Structure 1
Amino acid sequence: MSTSTISVSFLESQLPPEWKGSDLRGQINQINQSRNKKIIVLDDDPTGVQTVHDIDVLTQWDKELLREAFNNPEKVFYILTNTRAYQAAEAERINREIAQNVQAVASETGIGFVFVSRGDSTLRGYYPLETDTLTDEIRRMTGLEYDGHLIIPAFFEAGRMTYHGTHYLKEGDALLPVHETEFARDKVFGYAHSDLTQWVAEKTDGRIKPEDCVVITLEQVRRGPDAVEEMLLQVKGNVPVIVDCLSYADLDVLSFALLQAENKGKKFIFRTAASFVKSYGGIADQDILPKEKLVAKGQESHGGLVVVGSHVQKTTRQLEQLLAGTNIISLEMDVNKILNPAEKAEESKRLINQVNEHIARGQNVVVFSSRKLVAVQTSDGNLNISQTVSESLVKIVSSLDIVPKFIIAKGGITSSDVATKGLGIRKARVIGQAAAGIPVWLTGEEAKFSGIPYIVFPGNVGSDTTLLETVLKIEG
């Protein structure tokens, strides 16, 4: 165990109890319903809807689609930007274009909005670039200055929480600082600090110093919404606000306080993981979806398809369990061949033919990129490799002749590309979760296969057996 690891049970014995308000989530929902304002979540990969249900996710952001979303009764909707898969300049361009289109539709409809920039719960992604871009663009168009940007990477469903300003990953009874995990060694978005004030200084290249950040401690959160609101009302100058939270009860205190502060004129923008959206949106809990919701109606005689692109160790262990625990047909994509122009076409053709053949016979298939990570020295080069591999996996989906009885895509870039390029989804409905933190979309009418469940399985979520358990659940 690391010297900086904390025992969860010891921590809980030392803490003040959670603040017990009367149905804060319900009150948050009521406040949202009464506000003439949309909560727009810009999701840097498709896994961010992993805590919500009965909400739309748009994969494009033209004004026509945005108008529909603004005119729908729901107060929350997602836009899949997939920026984590792109170079920084493209991520900036996408955020700028979305801000412009959203502001235009908001002006036209007379409906306000707040932006939540949803990033990874293990701190990978384009911070501060995305919040800076949105802030700059909104200021340029409207003159609005934000009082603060809140940094809330908590994602309880996967054991990610923040205490004393430090972000942790829960493993068993231990809380491990995230800079000691494999995620901190990411080839594109790596980092050296779990203390979020230090992480902000690191990511802003010293432009923001640790002492510039406001930290709302767990002790303050557990004194209730009034104590948190009092702190939020003091915040100005778009400073980073880091919030301790170990549970949804803590987040609900924060969300209620935020809405009160916003009603008094405070303006905030958010960089958060998935749990915050559920709380701030006032979205009620829902049970995990039953088997019937995970299978495409009328396609039960066909095989299902699992597509695995993610290379984190957890995904590899989950894949091993799936292969050992079922008779699923295993098809490995040779990444070296995919990266070699002379061999790429032949390797793709082989996989496409075999996948179609097995699904038609009613056999489940898993296609996965070879597990030995091919990497180069530069982060841009590694992004290019990821994109090339993802494109080849997507081509398999777009070349399907037969509707699979289920589709699971594993990993952020992979699941986004499968959704937009493989299945041609423009707008989908998030119907819930297949397991904790694993969202299920219902594809729209425009998709290659319309009205079928699409399971978006994050690379870094679940135990070693969760992928296996999901497939076994579908098979009954």
Structure 2
Amino acid sequence: MNPPSTPITFEAIRSDLPPVRQEHGLRQQIQDRWKQTGHKLIVLDDDPTGVQTVHDVYVITDWSKEWIRQGLADDRHVLYILTNTRSYQPEKAAEINREIMYNLVEAAQEMAIDFSVISRGDSTLRGHYPLEVQVLQNELSREAGWEFDGHLIIPAFMEGGRYTINDTHYLLDGDTLVPVHETEFARDVVFGFSNAHLPSWVIEKGGADASDPIQTISLADIREGGVVRVHSKLLATHGNAPIIVNAASYEDLDILSVALIRAMEMGKRFLFRTAASFVKSFAGIEDRPFLTAREMMSATGQNHGGLIIVGSHTKKTTEQLQELISRFQIQTIEIRVAELLDEASRKGELARVRDQVEEAMASGQDTVMYTSREVVTAKDKSDNLTISQTISNSLAEVVSSLRVTPKFIVAKGGITSSDIATKGLAIKKAKVLGQAAPGIPVWLTGSEAHLPHTPYIVFPGNVGNRSTLAEIIGTIKI
């Protein structure tokens, strides 16, 4: 059940937990193991923000066999496939997952590559769960003959202050831990929910029946029992049952990852529904410093202004936009959403915005293009998705028509950043350079892209504090 609605600080709850278990060198052990075995970790990312913890890996946006082969041929043991399924209706999301699994199994079998699949979802519990996990299970059973012992649910995201403690998922707001069912994300018009207590959330979403026991791996299991106890619990799983994983530090995830690898070596097979932090741990990817201003600027567009695109309507995003505008002299161009949703005025509105953006960037002005802040909603969930898609597609259309290369590009919001990547920039394969700030990844567009070799900063709608966007732009301006 959900915890009482009483504010609690992170320090207060942390003082009641077992101390973090310090086992040095686990990340390197994990990385070495994957390199020795040649096993690949395939991460299906339901929006482009899932690479927000990793660096020096590739993400592909085209899941045809040709591009999957290219991704598998790389000597790296991690490959991200951007699905953007969070922006689609359930039927379309299922279709995408099925198509990817069919092509992936065929390509991997031809290349004699073994792999595991991670369904990367939102750290605030939004997305198509359990649908995507069920589709993966069914397709891999049919195409590869695999049976799964469990699917691990790991929404902890350290960089964004999301922690799972006592089976409840929290968001850190300042010094206070807020159960996620009390946040604006739980009121999402498409993926809303009422439980932060994860076993209850699984039942609410249809991932288990109320009578089914749901296994959990507690912080006591991880911190007191270590790899041995977690490994033992993993060996006892069967039937692709949901397994809730508590985690409040990367050390917790590293112990889990080692235990998982040992269980897999004994024949156990798992699926994963996780936030971004787990991938970094399970892949054995070490930390690296945040990117410098030079690493986030395009050589081609260095004399032009940068472009910031804001589509997300979360309260956090609006505050960040206001802080950016108040702190810097920056050209602001508002896209009037009502004009976009009216077929008669849409074309003219897009032309107006594109011309103003090009003129500002060509003169060297950093420019923010943002949607009007009034949220337009409908009564039906599918209609709300359609509205979101129309707005996001419009932003991408502006980018695809640009004839001026910006110094850098920032896209704010998950659906927005995906459509900018795939439709606006026509990216097929990009390299993840690293992060601009905690949880904010930077891609380098490929040679095939519109605006090639341009740093593309993917800024999630639910990450950072009020000043984070302004601080990133300030770093590049220095």
| TM-score, scaled relative to structure 2 | 0.98
- Per the alignment, residue 219 of structure 1 pairs with 220
Distance 1:39 1:253 in 2: 18
CA shift digits 1:4-48 (9 cap, x unpaired)? 443211122222111121311111111111123110000000000
Distance 2:237 2:7 in 1: 31
- How far does residue 66 in structure 1 lie from its aligned partner after superposition? 1.1
Is residue 261 of structure 1 aligned with residue 263 of structure 2?
A: yes
- Per the alignment, residue 250 of structure 2 pairs with 248
Which has the larger displacement, 183-192 or 387-396?
387-396
- Per the alignment, residue 209 of structure 2 pairs with 208
RMSD, matched Cα: 1.2
- Per the alignment, residue 372 of structure 2 pairs with 370
Structure 2 counterpart SS, 1:387: helix
Structure 1 counterpart SS, 2:344: coil
Which has the larger displacement, 58-67 or 43-52?
58-67
- Per the alignment, residue 472 of structure 1 pairs with 474
- How far does residue 136 in structure 1 lie from its aligned partner after superposition? 0.4
Distance 2:343 2:129 in 1: 34
Structure 1 counterpart SS, 2:343: coil
Structure 1 residues 7, 217: CA separation in 2 closer, same or farther (over 3 Å shift)?
A: same
- Per the alignment, residue 146 of structure 2 pairs with 144
Structure 1 counterpart SS, 2:97: helix
- How far does residue 210 in structure 1 lie from its aligned partner after superposition? 6.7
Match of 1:394 among 375, 396, 406: 396
- How far does residue 58 in structure 1 lie from its aligned partner after superposition? 0.3
Distance 1:125 1:311 in 2: 17
Distance 2:199 2:291 in 1: 38
Distance 2:368 2:315 in 1: 17
- Per the alignment, residue 157 of structure 2 pairs with 155
Distance 2:211 2:52 in 1: 31
- Do the aligned partners of 1:197 and 1:211 also contact (CA within 8 Å) in 2? no
Structure 1 residues 118, 321: CA separation in 2 closer, same or farther (over 3 Å shift)?
A: same
CA shift digits 1:212-232 (9 cap, x unpaired)? 210111011002111100110
Distance 1:400 1:72 in 2: 32
- Per the alignment, residue 456 of structure 1 pairs with 458
Match of 1:60 among 56, 59, 62: 62
Equivalent residue letter for 1:475: K
- How far does residue 137 in structure 1 lie from its aligned partner after superposition? 0.6
Structure 1 counterpart SS, 2:124: coil
- Do the aligned partners of 2:300 and 2:405 also contact (CA within 8 Å) in 1? no
- Per the alignment, residue 27 of structure 1 pairs with 29
Q: Which runs of 5+ in 1 are unaligned?
A: none
Between the two proteins, what is the percent identity of the paired residues?
51
Q: Which runs of 5+ in 2 are unaligned?
A: none
**Within-5 A mapping of 1:343-358:** 343-358=345-360
CA shift digits 1:54-99 (9 cap, x unpaired)? 0000001111111122121100010000000111100000000000
Equivalent residue letter for 2:389: Q
- Per the alignment, residue 309 of structure 2 pairs with 307
- Per the alignment, residue 328 of structure 1 pairs with 330
**Within-5 A mapping of 1:430-445:** 430-445=432-447
Structure 2 counterpart SS, 1:175: strand
Equivalent residue letter for 2:202: V
- How far does residue 297 in structure 1 lie from its aligned partner after superposition? 1.1
Which has the larger displacement, 18-27 or 96-105?
18-27
CA shift digits 1:90-114 (9 cap, x unpaired)? 0000000000001001111111110
Structure 2 counterpart SS, 1:384: helix
Match of 1:282 among 265, 284, 290: 284
Is residue 74 of structure 1 aligned with residue 105 of structure 2?
A: no
Distance 1:6 1:155 in 2: 19
| TM-score, scaled relative to structure 1 | 0.98
Distance 1:70 1:154 in 2: 28
Distance 1:6 1:258 in 2: 32
Distance 2:223 2:427 in 1: 42
Equivalent residue letter for 2:377: A
Distance 1:34 1:262 in 2: 15
- Per the alignment, residue 176 of structure 2 pairs with 174
Distance 1:79 1:380 in 2: 25
- Do the aligned partners of 1:304 and 1:365 also contact (CA within 8 Å) in 2? yes
Distance 1:353 1:2 in 2: 53
Equivalent residue letter for 2:214: C
Equivalent residue letter for 1:36: G
Distance 1:252 1:466 in 2: 28
- Per the alignment, residue 318 of structure 1 pairs with 320
Distance 2:206 2:214 in 1: 12
- Per the alignment, residue 108 of structure 1 pairs with 110
Structure 2 counterpart SS, 1:101: helix
Distance 1:111 1:5 in 2: 49
- Per the alignment, residue 9 of structure 2 pairs with 7
How many pairs are equivalent? 475
Match of 1:122 among 106, 121, 124: 124
CA shift digits 1:416-460 (9 cap, x unpaired)? 111111111000000000111000000001001111110001001
CA shift digits 1:252-280 (9 cap, x unpaired)? 00001000000011000000000000000
Structure 2 counterpart SS, 1:190: coil
- Do the aligned partners of 1:212 and 1:239 also contact (CA within 8 Å) in 2? no
Equivalent residue letter for 1:365: T
- How far does residue 125 in structure 1 lie from its aligned partner after superposition? 0.1
Is residue 339 of structure 1 aligned with residue 369 of structure 2?
A: no
CA shift digits 1:155-191 (9 cap, x unpaired)? 1101001011110001122111000000000000000
